[in-house]
Homo-oligomer: A and B are copies of this chain.
Amino acid sequence: MDLRPHLRVPPGSPVRMQDLDPRATPGMEGLSTRDAKDRAEQEVAANADRMAVLQQRLFAENRRALLIVLQGMDTSGKDGTIRAAFSGLNQQGCHVTSFKKPSEDEADRDFLWRIHAAAPPKGEIGIFNRAHYEDVLIVRVHEMVPQGVWERRYAIINDFERYLSVTGTTVLKFYLHISRAEQRERLLARLADPEKRWKFSMQDIAERARWDDYMEAYRAALERCSTEHAPWHVIPSDRKWYRNWAVSEIVRATLEEMDPMIPPTDLDPASIDIPE
């Protein structure tokens, strides 16, 4: 099904974070949790197969690209979504870029410099694990630049994404929405598991203390940067199975709509001789 109308932030409309339910399951109404999970699992697998076919066509067509942006609080599941929802994509033709603290070189440039450099080439799918939105999220929350600077960025981002869009790159943005209580559970689980403990940092707790500031920064980004050419989708992410399913459905539906075409060829197979 096409979940986009259910989860998209309508361009130009106000966003209230308290109205976004991290445990909602739009598209799964009337199903028991067990049935919904079963259905989600089956459809994620079917979508993976279908996405492999569509990706191959996108690559053959070599005319357009797809950019997927993932944002969300710590533990919201950006890494897990990449593992679970995109497993069908061929490594070749799909590149994940994780944006961390800018290097010295990057910090010496405008904030979109490193982002633009990582934009997917024609025929490919790019996945951004965090992206230019960090420059209106962590940067705003920690006041790393004056308000006058980050305030201008929303319009700059919209212009940049429109530019990507008109030059052939479909831009799909996902905000993985978790609750404060769920984050606590996940941090505790991370600490408890020796295979995952290395991911834990005391910094996570410091960031968590700014939860409300982050929610206000996300609110502004969702409200001001959900556009016709690059809409935001809010993915309820307290339940991992729903999060994976919703992202998988939206990516598949977007690729279907892009409808990439194997380029026509003039070759007449019958006329071609391949010597022994």
Contacts and interface: CB of A to CB of B under 8 A. Distances in A.
Chain A residues touching B, majority SS:
mixed
Given A269-B192, A272-B191, A127 B91 contact: yes
A208 interface: yes
A263 B198 contact: yes
A197 interface: yes
A187 interface: yes
Contacts of A39: none
Contacts of A274: 184, 187-188, 205, 208
A90 interface: yes
A207 to B, nearest CB: 12
B200 A267 contact: yes
| Size class of the A contact interface (CB-based, 8 Å) | 35 or more
A139 interface: no
A184 B86 contact: no
A187 B195 CA distance: 47
A83 B49 CA distance: 12
Contacts of A94: 91
Interface in A181-223: 181, 184, 187-188, 191-192, 194-195, 197-200, 202, 205, 208-209
A87 interface: yes
A89 B127 CA distance: 15
Contacts of A89: 91
A181 B276 contact: yes
B79 A191 contact: no
B184 A267 contact: no
Contacts of A199: 60
Contact of A195 (B82, B181, B262): B262
Interface of A: 52, 56, 60, 79, 82-83, 86-87, 89-96, 98, 127, 129, 180-181, 184, 187-188, 191-192, 194-195, 197-200, 202, 205, 208-209, 262-263, 265, 267, 269, 272, 274-276
Given A188-B274, A198-B265, 19 more contacts: A52-B83, A82-B90, A83-B90, A83-B92, A89-B91, A91-B91, A91-B94, A91-B95, A92-B129, A95-B95, A180-B276, A181-B276, A191-B267, A194-B262, A195-B262, A197-B265, A200-B267, A202-B272, A205-B275
24 contacts: A60-B198, A79-B92, A82-B91, A82-B92, A83-B92, A91-B91, A91-B127, A92-B96, A93-B96, A95-B95, A184-B274, A184-B276, A188-B274, A191-B269, A191-B272, A195-B262, A197-B267, A197-B269, A198-B265, A200-B265, A200-B267, A202-B272, A205-B272, A208-B274
